Structure 1
Amino acid sequence: MQIQDVGSDFNLEHIVPYFQPVHDLEDGSVTHYECLARLITPQEQLFVPSQFLHIVEQQQCFGELARQIFHQSACYFEDKAVGWSMNIMASDITDKAFLDFLLEHIHQYPSPQRVWLELSAQDALNHRNVLQQFIAFCQGLKIGVMIDNMTCDCDWQSLLKIRGISGIKVSGQWINQPENTEQVNALSQLIEQARDLKLQLIAEHVEQAHSATYLKKLGIKLAQGYLFSHPTADAGH
């Protein structure tokens, strides 16, 4: 369904976080949740970001969206002993309103070290200098920054040189091609280097049981995807 079907029903206040767990492949436990923006109309139609972000861009309210998802997620997990993360845009890392918002809210938040902000690999590569400043800012608040959606064809070695990142999320595009020897070799190198740098490594978009087995064999310990759970309105904690 196209976002145009929403029409005048679009309202930023109708965008809420849905939660998808990240699982430990060894024992099946949930290590933390990713908070994913979903638009729910008054008619209870649900839209994913690819269907509505262009309207957010048109209305120039990305910063407001980031603040809203952070606030709702923080409130939801405040009294729950589990970590959580959310996606941010390149514009957020230089948005003074967003930085001031984080500064104001995180000091009142219990255990800020269980909060991570995820920036896409492409945005990280395109904005390395300001990202480095943003990471330093987040370190001062004791919250982490992850590189999201890392693919085999991006300059992942340059991304590993970014100081202070907490972890990397590997795209399903990369992990779901075990027959591609070149990609498997590159993934093995990434896993080894991430381990040396003590970075958290998470496989995304895991949908099949054999994929989880393959990831464990490679040495990836954390994963999320439809194999474990679709994003839901209730994190279950």
Structure 2
Amino acid sequence: MDPYTEATKINKDAFFSTEPVFEVSKDQWGHFKSIFVTFIDENGHTYLTGADITITDLNQQLQLSVTRATITGCFFFFIASLIAGLYFLQLKRSLSTDARTGFANHVALEYYLKKSTKHRMELAVITINEVEDISSFYGTEVSDKVMASLLNYFQSRLPNDALVFRLATNKIALLHTRGAEQDFDDTINAFNQSIPVLNEPFIYVSLHAGIASGNKLMLIENAHIALQQAKLNNQRIIRYENVFKQVEEQFRYNVKLAKKVKEAFDNNRIVPYFQPIYDTQTKQVTHYESLARMASAQGRIYTPDYFLTVLKRSRMDGLLTRTMFTRCIEQFRKTSISWSINITAQDILDPSLSEFLEQQLRRYPQPNNIIFEFHETEAIAYFSEVKAFISLLKNKGAQVMINEFGAGYSNLSNILKLEVDGLKLDRGLVSQAHTNDDSYMFIEHLVKYAKQLNLDVVAEQVESEQVAEALSKAGITLMQGNHFAPPTPYVPQS
């Protein structure tokens, strides 16, 4: 019951408050924050219940807590930054490294060329010719071992400043900045193709290389151009500098030829020539094969060897088939002459061309006189598509033959599943019939088997009497070639 003379106005007002009252105060004992709660006993006396907290201690604790939180936050931020940095480095490395061999890849090469301050560089792009075959036969694990062996081979034999990259499945790139031209030539030429790259299994490889030097922005493109020339010319190494004029001239020639071909189509100068197929027993022509020719504005006639590559590059092979088929129909519609035309895989895969041929066959008076020829390799490669297409043609009454049989898969069981009417022997087999016993025996056995199956067998490109006699001895009666008659723009009408 001691008097409390230090009572403040807030203390006194608290007696009349129905809610807790707070007060911050300072005195000789310190700096406090207080809470007062009114309490009335059973006799009606009013009391205050109070509690204090020292603010100085609280501030110190808060400051300590903030400091600890800051330190902890910095620590975790550092750890997060470190992890993010390591992850970024790992991601960068994975994007720029070939996972199979551990060597830098094409991304690393492009980045290096972009960031380098060197003005003169030299790049060699090497293609390993057999890698895809190795992969399909032994699996990718073995083909990757082959590439790793070759990458290590080149890395161990080049100067320390040279870089080695795996550009693609079967390509290697060598780069250095000193411009010492002989380094790459010597190293690539020193590779011995007679020594196996792997011993288990024994694997031998061959390579071609294109080398370019100079402006770093053009290195990759120029090296690939040189590589392409090395492949075409079957040379181990070609430098871009040595073929620059030749390549530029070839480019201009291709553009010029593509324009000529387009003009030939526009001016009806793509024309069919016809070569007869003779039955040597009856001495009669069984049918004519239509062969595409291109006439120049001056009247010169070109064979497909001249324009076919450009035509395919320009995606005009479908137009060629339409043009040839239309010309042949005009030529033979009012006759009873049988004739044949070549069909490619691209023709089969073109729905509009299939529809065009179907409509034309429906209108043609004697569709059984038309023979469609498919290349053996394409027939097997696109088996299901070719089978469906052959069914469409045969349903319309046309006949079907497999061309160049014996050049590719020579899988007669699969060919028979296509339900063809005949086989045309590959020109390579035909030309060796009189000199190669294996070729002769193959033809002889094929003819016997084909007769049992009621299949016609035609030998094309018979160029001499010796070949014709050997084929006749082997049982061939249907022959085609310059020995009998060359292709001409007209046929005798009958």
TM-score (norm 2): 0.46
Q: Is the CA contact 2:258–2:311 (under 8 Å) kept in the aligned structure 1? A: no
Alignment match of 1:210 (pick from 445, 454, 466)? 466
Work out whether 1:25 is the aligned partner of 2:280: yes
Match of 1:51?
306
1:88-107 correspondence runs (5 A): 88-107=343-362
Name the CA shift for 1:204/1:24 in 2 (closer, same or farther; >3 Å): same
Name the CA shift for 1:38/1:67 in 2 (closer, same or farther; >3 Å): same
Q: Could you tell me which amino acid in structure 1 is paired with residue 444 of structure 2? A: S
Structure-2 separation of matches of 1:170 and 1:205: 9
Specify the SS of the correspondent of 1:18. strand
The range that moved more, 213-222 or 113-122, is 213-222
Work out whether 1:200 is the aligned partner of 2:451: no
Alignment match of 2:331 (pick from 71, 76, 87)? 76
Q: Is the CA contact 1:124–1:159 (under 8 Å) kept in the aligned structure 2? A: no
Alignment match of 1:185 (pick from 424, 435, 441)? 441
Structure-1 separation of matches of 2:258 and 2:379: 33
Q: Could you tell me which amino acid in structure 2 is paired with residue 9 of structure 1? A: K
Specify the SS of the correspondent of 2:293. strand
Match of 1:9?
260
Name the CA shift for 1:121/1:7 in 2 (closer, same or farther; >3 Å): closer
Coordinate RMSD, CA, aligned: 1.9
Q: Is the CA contact 1:166–1:199 (under 8 Å) kept in the aligned structure 2? A: yes
Alignment match of 1:157 (pick from 400, 412, 435)? 412
Match of 1:38?
293
Q: Is the CA contact 2:424–2:460 (under 8 Å) kept in the aligned structure 1? A: yes
Alpha-carbon distance, 1:203 to partner: 0.4
Alpha-carbon distance, 1:200 to partner: 1.1
Match of 2:484?
228
Alpha-carbon distance, 1:175 to partner: 2.1
Structure-1 separation of matches of 2:285 and 2:381: 32
Match of 1:131?
386
Alpha-carbon distance, 1:210 to partner: 2.4
Q: Is the CA contact 1:17–1:35 (under 8 Å) kept in the aligned structure 2? A: yes
Structure-2 separation of matches of 1:110 and 1:99: 19
Q: Is the CA contact 2:440–2:474 (under 8 Å) kept in the aligned structure 1? A: no
Structure-1 separation of matches of 2:323 and 2:353: 10
The range that moved more, 23-32 or 45-54, is 45-54
Q: Which runs of 4+ in 1 moved over 4 A?
A: 2-7
Share of identical aligned residues, percent? 30
Structure-1 separation of matches of 2:487 and 2:417: 30
Structure-1 separation of matches of 2:420 and 2:461: 21
Structure-2 separation of matches of 1:62 and 1:42: 21
Structure-1 separation of matches of 2:312 and 2:296: 18
Q: Could you tell me which amino acid in structure 1 is paired with residue 481 of structure 2? A: G
Match of 1:144?
399
Matched positions, count:
236
TM-score (norm 1): 0.92
The range that moved more, 5-14 or 193-202, is 5-14
Which structure has the larger Rg? 2
Match of 1:168?
423
Structure-2 separation of matches of 1:154 and 1:39: 32
Q: Could you tell me which amino acid in structure 1 is paired with residue 380 of structure 2? A: L
Q: Could you tell me which amino acid in structure 2 is paired with residue 165 of structure 1? A: V
Structure-1 separation of matches of 2:338 and 2:280: 17
Unaligned runs of 5+ in 1: none
